[in-house]
């Protein structure tokens, strides 16, 4: 059974999705799209904040901690697990601005 043309390979689709996310995060345009990343790789794209936040919380709750982020088009980074400093081997901390994001979205 044919698997389809090379341009439909999963690797290429992921690269294109990640390029799209890099261009769209924080661009301020509509519709607002949420991107969840795991170690820099886009693992979810959705219009639903609650679904994106729940998925990010699951990633953020892993032990040991691994970098992840919830980003969108209007706000930029809503929540993340990121290094505490730029020093190599810095401890990973959780930064969750979702409460502020939701208050701003209600305006």
Q: How many residues comprise the chain?
A: 107
Tell me the two tokens of residue 39.
Answer: 């170690």
Q: Which residue ranges in the chain fall short of pLDDT 50?
A: 1-5, 8
Quick one: pLDDT at residue 22? 76
Question: Listing from the earlier edge strand, what are the strands of the sheet with 68-72?
Answer: 41-46, 34-38, 68-72, 76-83, 92-96
Predicted pLDDT at 37: 92
User: pTM for this one?
Assistant: 0.79
pLDDT of res. 14: 66
């Amino acid at each position: 059974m044919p698997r389809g043309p090379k341009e439909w390979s999963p690797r290429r689709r992921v690269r294109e999705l990640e390029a799209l996310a890099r261009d769209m995060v924080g661009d301020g345009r509509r519709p607002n799209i949420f991107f969840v990343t795991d170690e820099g790789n886009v693992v979810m794209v959705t219009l639903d904040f609650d679904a994106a936040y729940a998925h990010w919380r699951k990633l953020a709750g892993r032990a040991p901690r691994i970098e992840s982020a919830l980003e969108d088009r209007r706000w930029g980074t809503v929540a993340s697990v990121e290094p505490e400093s730029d020093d190599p081997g810095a401890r990973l901390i959780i930064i969750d601005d979702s409460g502020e994001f939701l208050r701003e979205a209600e305006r």
